[in-house]
Amino acid sequence: MKLIKYKILTLLRSIFPTVYDYFYYRHNLKGIKNSEMKRYQQCVQIGYRDNKISNNWIVVDKYDFSPLVDLNDDVSDLSFPDDSIDIIVCNAILQYVVKPSQVIQEFNRVLKKGGKIWIEVPSIQPITYINKHVGFDDLWRFSLKGIEMIVADHFKTIQIGYSRVRNSYLNFGVYYYGEKI
């Protein structure tokens, strides 16, 4: 069964790399979903990408007014009380924010002590000028050291690494999984 799955994924990667990236991202989140979800009550997904991570998650997206989006907050000024959230997942959002470090401070404010954070940001992906979803430019690219620098004062690293195309040295993004200090 694993061999069949591997062959399907290899074919998918060669024909539809964007679809493959989506499944790779979902695989990365699987560890969080399975191990953390049973313990946590307040889970926040920053940014909406046509689906919720899980039905009990709160989706925050300033520019998307889909019925599945729960709050249209600015990520640098969330409406949650201090120390109220168990886990935040922020995938492919920080590159559009003028001050990513301010957003990290806001995540720190709303997360409970010991709360978890998952951030995924682009590394070498092409820049999108005037993104049709958010209406403004793609501003940033991140390295491992860069993401470590903005989270260092607030979070203890659990895992950090490059999201890459399998069997390749091409690092298209950086992921960070940490815990509030």
CATH label of the domain that carries residue 65: 3.40.50.150
pLDDT tier, 171 (very low <50, low <70, confident <90, very high otherwise): low
The verdict on residue 30 lying in a domain is no
Q: Which residues contact 86 (CB under 8 A, 6 or more apart)?
A: 36, 39, 40, 41, 42, 43, 111, 112, 115, 116
Looking at residue 18, what is its pLDDT?
47
pTM of the model: 0.77
Note whether residue 8 is domain-resident. Answer: no
The answer as to whether 88 is a domain residue is: yes
Please provide the average confidence, as pLDDT, over all residues in the chain. 80
CA angle 44, 50, 56 (to 5 degrees): 35
Tell whether 9 is covered by a domain. Answer: no
Domain membership of residue 158 as a residue range: 41-180
The pLDDT value recorded for residue 4 is: 72
Between 32-46, 67-81, 162-176, the lowest mean confidence (pLDDT) is in 32-46
* Number of structural domains in the chain: 1
Q: Which residue has the higher pLDDT, 19 or 106?
A: 106
Kindly state whether residue 21 falls inside one of the protein's structural domains.
no
Asked if the structure places residue 6 within a domain, the reply is no
Confidence at residue 119, expressed as pLDDT on a 0 to 100 scale: 94
Query: Given a cut of 90, is residue 72 above it in pLDDT?
Result: yes
Residue 78 lies in a domain: yes
Torsion angle, alpha carbons of 20, 25, 26, 27, to 10: 90
Confidence of residue 173 (pLDDT cuts 50, 70, 90): confident
In this structure, of 53-57, 79-83, 124-128, the range with the lowest mean pLDDT score is 124-128
Helix residue ranges per DSSP H, 16-153? 17-36, 100-110, 144-151
2 domain-assigned: no
pLDDT tops 80 at residue 9: no
The pLDDT tens digits for 113-127 are 999 999 999 887 777
CA distances from 129 to 26, 32, 124 (A): 26, 32, 15
